[in-house]
Amino acid sequence: MSAQQFELLTRLTVSLSKDQLTWVSGYLAGFSVRDHAQQQLPDETVPSVTQTSLTILFGSRTGNGEGLAKKAQLLAEEQGVNVVLKNMADYRPRDLQVEKNLLVIVSTHGDGVPPFSAAELHEFIYGKRAPKLDAVRFAVLALGDSSYFQFCKTGKDFDEQLEKLGGKRIVPWLACDLDFEQPAEDWLKKTINALGGEICTTLPADSQHPISSSAAINGETVKFSKKNPFQAPVFEKIALHGKGSERQTFHIELATDTKGLEYEPGDSAGVIPVNPDDLIKEVLETTALNSSDEVEVNGIKTTLYESLHRNLELSKITADVVKRYQEFAANRKLQKIIDIPDKFKNYLYVRDIVDLLKEYPVKITAENLVRILRPLQPRSYSISSSPKAFPGELHLTVGEVNYESNGRRKRGACSTFLSKVDIENGQVPIFIESNQNFRLPKDASTPIVMIGAGTGIAPYRAFVQHRELSENRGKSWLFFGNRNFETEFLYQTEWQNFLKSGALTKMDVAFSRDGSQKKYVQHRLVENSAELYKWLKEGAHFYICGDMNKMAGDVQSALVKIIEKEGAMNTESAQEYVNNLQKERRLQLDVY
């Protein structure tokens, strides 16, 4: 080493911390190894930093997983990593074994079920054909909702099973709740940094190349979001049920003529409600707290009233809230309920926070109450308009949640908020939730069969409006079910007009409470089995929208029966046929 080199090295090293010195020693050692390897390998096989590859797989029902996957891609590409980004639904499970670095971003649907796009891969890694993944490094980011018992179960499954198959975990998995944005972004940065560790193994975390600021991450057009909703003025609010109906569904038209609120038929809108005053009053009376008490929410000082109005969930209680309440006010009876999952589920199903406060009373401060409650979440509604038919507008179809249980009237937070919104001056805070898993066929001439019950009719209004304006449109068939013909035939006149104009080819209805025997949409499907099968053979796409718990499963069973009968197949083959329809995206579900 020359004197000049020595001086340069000394000037550099005196300014370094202990950790940085460790890193530099490893870095220099790396040079000698690389030089040695370079002497032995032909040029094209020299390992290079840019050869690091990462496959990002996302599987989620809403666009949240895809949004995070795109962020991860951006972060990784800034680090010189080659990224392959894929929806799990389009990924060949067998390709797992050739991955080097794998980032899985997956949500959990309802109580522990993988979203449809993740189902095949999830099944594969648990199956007999699952390959050894000794050479695969992986990390799992799980999205979920902690109000469900099996919070983030699908993500947990992936993390555990990839390890069982021999995969090496890059960083511990992260389970994200509804407020996922910040923790997920922090975790992604950490994970991508750790990925860099594969290239420079001795690189200490704090000396790594700083990853882009969130401004760069959010470099794409700023969209309206849960944290930054658009205050949409109200054009119209119409009660859709006829006189004498026990319940109500509202049609609401919003003015959305602004950038950042673009949507397609099949998308949903997230609506941010406020809690109704009568429920807040009950909470204050039950706790004997003052509405003006000072509290802190998300680091911001506010009054108890404001926090109960805007920030905290009151109209439904979830397992996490009850457990926090029990930690604060231990009660043996309540513990017995918490300990038995079925009992606990039933308890939560029909109660709100006032029920809990009344049944297990305890002296509580405003601060503690705020700490126990859960943040108020937006509610999702399938958009019932087509932007082609109503540019600058967005329509919602909102079933009012209003029932009596446990001796008290219960009202849904968001449906009540929307049902009371003022047409003159009211505004509705909204943002778009893209749903790539519920889309019209790309080719407008493809026949479609739409099956919906109750407010599950919403996206079909958007579909048919859209098709009415499409060139070369194919046949369409709507199956709609609700309680009564007289009072609950939602958008009856519009459907009649669509039938007249030819935008809708056929419509069959099932009004469950009109006759002595219940008739549901699936009964109408079975009655039309021969023709439905013909449509299926012609390449029709099928859609199911509405209740997830019973209706969606029953309709799918009906489809299996129809295929079994008309295609002369056994149940197993017919079931496989339906599964394949779903894989090919010819059967799509929008169910809650």
Kindly tell me which of 155 and 456 has the beta carbon lying closer to ligand NAP: 456
The secondary structure element, H or E, covering residue 80 is: none
Our measurement of the distance from residue 335's CA atom to the centroid of its chain's CA atoms, rounded to an integer in Å, reads 31
Query: What is the nearest approach in angstroms of ligand NAP to the Cβ of residue 566?
Result: 21
| CB 432, CB 460: distance < 8 Å | no
Kindly tell me which of 173 and 381 has the beta carbon lying closer to ligand NAP: 381
Kindly tell me which of 42 and 515 has the beta carbon lying closer to ligand NAP: 515
Say which residue the tokens 């009151």 belong to. 314
Phi, psi of 319 (to 5 degrees): -55, -40
CA distance 564 to 569: 5
The interaxial angle of helices 571-583 and 551-566, nearest 10 deg, is 120
Kindly tell me which of 167 and 270 has the beta carbon lying closer to ligand NAP: 270
Kindly tell me which of 148 and 520 has the beta carbon lying closer to ligand NAP: 520
CA distance 421 to 418: 5
Query: What is the nearest approach in angstroms of ligand NAP to the Cβ of residue 575?
Result: 19
Kindly tell me which of 474 and 481 has the beta carbon lying closer to ligand NAP: 481
DSSP category for residue 113:
B
Kindly tell me which of 79 and 482 has the beta carbon lying closer to ligand NAP: 482
Angle made by CA atoms 311, 274, 300, in degrees to the nearest 5: 25
CA distance 394 to 263: 9
Query: What is the nearest approach in angstroms of ligand NAP to the Cβ of residue 512?
Result: 3
Kindly tell me which of 326 and 380 has the beta carbon lying closer to ligand NAP: 380
Kindly tell me which of 412 and 474 has the beta carbon lying closer to ligand NAP: 412
Kindly tell me which of 280 and 398 has the beta carbon lying closer to ligand NAP: 398
Query: What is the nearest approach in angstroms of ligand NAP to the Cβ of residue 499?
Result: 21
Given CA atoms 30, 32, 36, 41 in this order, what sign does their dihedral have?
positive
Bridge partners of 58, per DSSP, are 87, 105
CA distance 540 to 535: 5
Say which residue the tokens 């083959």 belong to. 573
Dig out the tokens for 227 from the structure: 């944290």
The secondary structure element, H or E, covering residue 236 is: strand 230-239
Residue type at 256?
T
Query: What is the nearest approach in angstroms of ligand NAP to the Cβ of residue 388?
Result: 19
CA distance 333 to 343: 12
Say which residue the tokens 């998995």 belong to. 173
Query: What is the nearest approach in angstroms of ligand NAP to the Cβ of residue 475?
Result: 23
Query: What is the nearest approach in angstroms of ligand NAP to the Cβ of residue 452?
Result: 8
Query: What is the nearest approach in angstroms of ligand NAP to the Cβ of residue 519?
Result: 9
Kindly tell me which of 87 and 484 has the beta carbon lying closer to ligand NAP: 484
Bridge partners of 137, per DSSP, are 101, 168
| CB 325, CB 360: distance < 8 Å | yes
Interface positions with ligand NAP (CB under 6 A) = 381-382, 397, 399, 453-456, 458, 481-483, 512-513, 518, 520-522, 545-547, 550-551, 554, 590-592
Kindly tell me which of 193 and 588 has the beta carbon lying closer to ligand NAP: 588
Query: What is the nearest approach in angstroms of ligand NAP to the Cβ of residue 17?
Result: 56
Kindly tell me which of 154 and 482 has the beta carbon lying closer to ligand NAP: 482
Query: What is the nearest approach in angstroms of ligand NAP to the Cβ of residue 409?
Result: 17
Given CA atoms 581, 157, 182, 269 in this order, what sign does their dihedral have?
positive
Residue type at 488?
E
CA end-to-end span of the chain, whole Å?
A: 70
What three-state secondary structure class fits 224?
coil
Query: What is the nearest approach in angstroms of ligand NAP to the Cβ of residue 241?
Result: 11
Query: What is the nearest approach in angstroms of ligand NAP to the Cβ of residue 507?
Result: 16
Q: How many CB atoms lie within 10 A of CB 473?
A: 21
Query: What is the nearest approach in angstroms of ligand NAP to the Cβ of residue 62?
Result: 12
CA distance 34 to 199: 12
Query: What is the nearest approach in angstroms of ligand NAP to the Cβ of residue 515?
Result: 11
Burial of 354 (0-12, 13-18, 19+ CB in 10 A): buried
Q: Which are the contacts of 455, defined by CB distance < 8 A and separation ≥ 6?
A: 249, 382, 397, 398, 399, 490, 546
Kindly tell me which of 253 and 282 has the beta carbon lying closer to ligand NAP: 253
Query: What is the nearest approach in angstroms of ligand NAP to the Cβ of residue 558?
Result: 9
Bridge partners of 126, per DSSP, are none
Say which residue the tokens 């993988």 belong to. 114
In angstroms, the Cα distances linking 315 to 71, 134, 411 are: 34, 48, 7
Query: Could you write out the three-class secondary structure of 329-368?
Result: CCCHHHHHHHHCHHHHHHHHHCCCHHHHHHHCCCCCCHHH
| CB 239, CB 201: distance < 8 Å | no
Q: Which are the contacts of 326, defined by CB distance < 8 A and separation ≥ 6?
A: 334, 335, 338
Kindly tell me which of 321 and 414 has the beta carbon lying closer to ligand NAP: 414
Nearest residue to ligand NAP on Cβ basis = 454
Bridge partners of 405, per DSSP, are 408
